[in-house]
Amino acid sequence: MSDQNDKTIKKLENPAKTGASAPGGASVAGWKRLFARRWMFPALYMAAAALIVTILWLYPGTEKNRENPAQATPGVESESAAGTEAATGTTGEETEEAAPVTANGETLQWPVKNRDEMVIAMPYYDPSAPEEERAAAIVEQDNTFTPHMAVDLARPDQQPFEVLAALSGTVKVAKQDPVDGYVAEIEHPNGLVTVYKSLSELRVQEGEKVEQGDVIAIAGTSGETDDEGARLHFEIRRNGQLVNPASLIKDE
């Protein structure tokens, strides 16, 4: 009788134990079934690879932003670049050197005998100048407005005057133009060319070599300046680019 009671108690205990361990067993069995699927390990591999690529992509960008914080924020310009543009008035374009130009031991000079006796009839257009000065350097012709890329010199009494070679060189152009009057161009070393327009008379010919200070022409009028008296339209080209004569000539 006692043996039968013991067996009955053991049978009652076994279901209780089985029921207690059932949740854990079901969890383990579920993971086993999940990992048994063929697509599980390839999926894990792809997820890990994507995570690694993302980390490698983000890390260099973080280092780059640390080196140059201005580039990390759209619309923010680095101080060095802003300072350069503010000082030169440009955005990466070639700038003029505000220093006297010399060639073959000569220093570039104004093409007149006495600069102090002359006035600037029209200045060179400087985009960084005040609005009033910029407006004074705009040429209007046939309802078209263009910047004046030269310096026009004149006498206060608007009378003709002698035009001198600003630097020694070779005359490359000596001609009459229906708009600019007589025109002369002199080629100098180091890619420098001086241009003289609005002339009433030429004293040189193409191919002729001139020395600095030689009289090459007489200032007069052109089709654009007939009502404004005699003046000299003086241009300087350096390596094909027009530059401000005042930035290359040292006033004595």
Q: How far apart are CA 67 and CA 86, in angstroms?
A: 23
pLDDT at residue 100, rounded to an integer:
73
- Written as one string, the DSSP assignment of 118-130 is -EEEEPPP-TTS-
67 pLDDT above the threshold of 80: no
Instruction: Give the SS3 label for residue 79.
Output: helix
Mean pLDDT check: name the lowest of 35-44, 66-75, 135-144, 242-251: 66-75
Domains and CATH numbers, the chain: 2-72 (no CATH), 102-247 (2.70.70.10)
Percentage of residues in the chain having pLDDT higher than 90: 50
Helix-strand-coil percent breakdown of the chain, rounded to 5?
35, 30, 35
- Asked if 170 contacts 207 with a C-beta cutoff of 8 angstroms, the reply is yes
User: 68 falls in which pLDDT band (50, 70, 90)?
Assistant: very low
CA 99 to mean position of chain CA atoms: 21
- Asked if 219 contacts 174 with a C-beta cutoff of 8 angstroms, the reply is no
Look at 54 and 196; give whichever has higher pLDDT: 196
For the segment 99-141, what is each residue's pLDDT rounded down to a tens digit? Answer: 677 777 899 999 999 999 999 999 999 999 999 999 999 998 7
Sign of CA dihedral 244, 143, 179, 220: negative
Instruction: Give the SS3 label for residue 213.
Output: coil
For the segment 1-43, what is each residue's pLDDT rounded down to a tens digit? Answer: 555 555 544 554 454 444 444 455 556 666 666 666 666 666 6
- Written as one string, the DSSP assignment of 29-67 is HHHHHHHTSTTHHHHHHHHHHHHHHHHHHHHHHHHHHHH
Evaluate if pTM is beyond 0.75: no
pLDDT at residue 242, rounded to an integer:
96
Look at 226 and 239; give whichever has higher pLDDT: 239
